[in-house]
Structure formats: structure tokens, C-alpha cells
Amino acid sequence: MMLGGLLDNDANGTVQQLLDKATETFVLAIELYNRPSIRYRVEGFAFFVCNAWELMLKAKIINDKGVDAIYYKDNPTRTISLERCIASVFTNDKDPLRKNLEGIRRER
């Protein structure tokens, strides 16, 4: 919930939790990719890096629009997908980072 342009403590805590989880998940993705003994490491990397980006983008959306913005309007117990997060944050569909994220998302 937004209060005078600033996030309340609950939203700040949510953002920090999302960022902490995103950091851990990015590290896990890289560690998994760097293990040559795992047969499906590329697929595992794609899964975890997508999860990390989703968490990070949701933190950005909460900072910009408030906690309610990451939930579906018709189902407030379900958060939006990575695809929606990407479209919400990277509004230019030609943005190179957006195109790369969409490509990784397809590999997942």
C-alpha cells in the first residue's frame, strides 16, 4: 500500500524479501549452470534465472505501483506471471533486455 508516495513498512519488507530471494536464486542458477556433471543444467539454469527475474521485477513493480499491482484483479491470491512482469516493467517491446528475458522465458 502506498502512503504519500512512500511504501509502508509491510511493502518495504515484501520488496526486501523478494530481492533477497532473487539474489539467492540468481546464485543458484549460476552454480547449477557451472556444474558439468548435471545433464540438464541449461534447463535448470533457465528455470531458476526466470524465477529470479520474476522476483526482482515484482519488487520493482511494488516499488513503482504498490503491492496490489502484482496480483491478478480477478484472483487476489495469485500473483502475475513473469510474462506480465516483463511487459509491465519493459514497456518498449524492442528493448534488448526485454527481448533477452522473453527468449530465456521460452527456454524454460
Summarised one tens digit per residue, pLDDT across range 29-65 is 999 999 999 999 999 999 999 999 999 999 999 999 9
Summarised one tens digit per residue, pLDDT across range 70-88 is 999 999 999 999 999 999 9
Diameter of the chain by CA atoms?
Answer: 52
Q: Which secondary-structure segment (H or E) carries 51?
A: helix 41-65
Q: Report the distance separating Cα 19 and Cα 52, nearest Å.
A: 9
